[in-house]
Amino acid sequence: MRADRLIQVLLHLQSRPRVTAAELAAALEVSVATARRDLEALSAAGVPVYPQRGRGGGWSLLGGARTDLSGLTAPEARALFLLAGPATAADGEASSALRKLVRALPTPFRAEAEAAAVATVVDDQRWGAAARQRALHLDALREAVVRRRRVRLRYTGATGRTSDRVVDAWGVVDKDGTWYLVAGTERGPRTYRVDRIAEAEVTGEAAEVPADLDLAAVWARVVEEVEALRSTTWATVRVPERHVGVLRAQFGRHVEVEVVAGDGMADDGVARVRVGAPTPLDVARHLAGWGDGIVVEGPPEVRAELARIGAELVSRYLGTR
């Protein structure tokens, strides 16, 4: 704790030409005596901190000595604080670290960095829906990743079966609000949804982490494999070009577009689009709500599922009020 406070004292001195012990005490929320002892300790340790007696006096860094984050450019500082700012809103330690970083920046960068830190607000509550809950064991998993430790998990898989396992923590990934643990196992890299982890214990055993680990590349392979499983059925449809964006929202990555000439469906042209999903029924369920606003060219399995869905709706609702 003392070492952490001495760093704060040094950074505080860097941010102003002169400071009194009373001002420092107020800033760090310690007693004046403690602030004075910290200043004297820095001086005794060889840091060029010196006192100036008399009216208008105080403590200063000799010759403007600094420990700036050298090499950090103004655009890099802005980018760093744009990313870090929203993440510190509910995290006291992260907020404290951000304040220290601001004071460690070269003076010309500080104003823009501070503005960047508050330029973005993160609201995790969707319109008309409850706020997402923070993953229960995320902090423990992050600790394991940073300390390179093995983790003992009690995990419930997609089938509902719960089992115990010990894995090497490699990293955590946030995919649109859902957290995943990427870990090494005897069968190679595996991913675990954090919200399916019932228990997580960081062990004292060192994790086996590849020296050349590229977490982003590992995750990219995971995404590619999952997306391939989610697009085993493809259908070709014609849709007014202005509505292609809606199809993209429905099918995500599984959309391939070829813009073609208008054929009477719309004045602004028609797009021929390939859309993918796991089964013909999944494709049909996404497309059924379009009614006659699109034309499904194939395959026959998807057209058959659309016809069946349409017949079911007619049977249930025709003639009702």
Read off the pLDDT of each residue in 169-178 and give the average, rounded to a whole number: 83
pTM of the model: 0.55
CB atoms near residue 160 (< 10 Å): 7
Predicted pLDDT of residue 118: 67
Would you place residue 266 in the very low, low, confident or very high pLDDT band (cuts 50, 70, 90)? Answer: very low
- Termini Cα distance of the chain: 72
Place of tokens 């430790």: 149
- List CB contacts of 61: < 8 A, sequence separation 6 or more: 13, 14, 47, 48, 49
Q: Which two tokens stand for residue 181?
A: 């643990």
Would you place residue 72 in the very low, low, confident or very high pLDDT band (cuts 50, 70, 90)? Answer: low
Read off the pLDDT of each residue in 10-30 and give the average, rounded to a whole number: 81
pLDDT at 127 over 70: no
Read off the pLDDT of each residue in 150-160 and give the average, rounded to a whole number: 89
Place of tokens 């103004």: 74
Both 84 and 59 in one domain: the answer is no
Number of structural domains found in the chain? 4
Residue 178 lies in a domain: yes
pLDDT at 131 over 60: no
Read off the pLDDT of each residue in 247-257 and give the average, rounded to a whole number: 84
Distance of CA 251 to the CA centre of its chain: 22
Predicted pLDDT of residue 37: 86
One-letter amino acid at 252 equals G
Residue 242 lies in a domain: yes
- Nearest alpha carbon to residue 141 among 197, 208, 220, 218: 197
Both 30 and 92 in one domain: the answer is no
d(CA 73, CA 300): 58
pLDDT at 109 over 60: yes
CATH code of the domain in which 292 resides: 3.30.70
Residue 173 lies in a domain: yes
Q: Are 51 and 59 in contact (CB under 8 A)?
A: yes
Both 238 and 313 in one domain: the answer is yes
d(CA 34, CA 32): 5
Look up the domain containing 161 and give its range. 138-218
Both 40 and 107 in one domain: the answer is no
CATH code of the domain in which 207 resides: 2.30.30
Distance of CA 44 to the CA centre of its chain: 43
CB atoms near residue 305 (< 10 Å): 22
d(CA 40, CA 55): 20
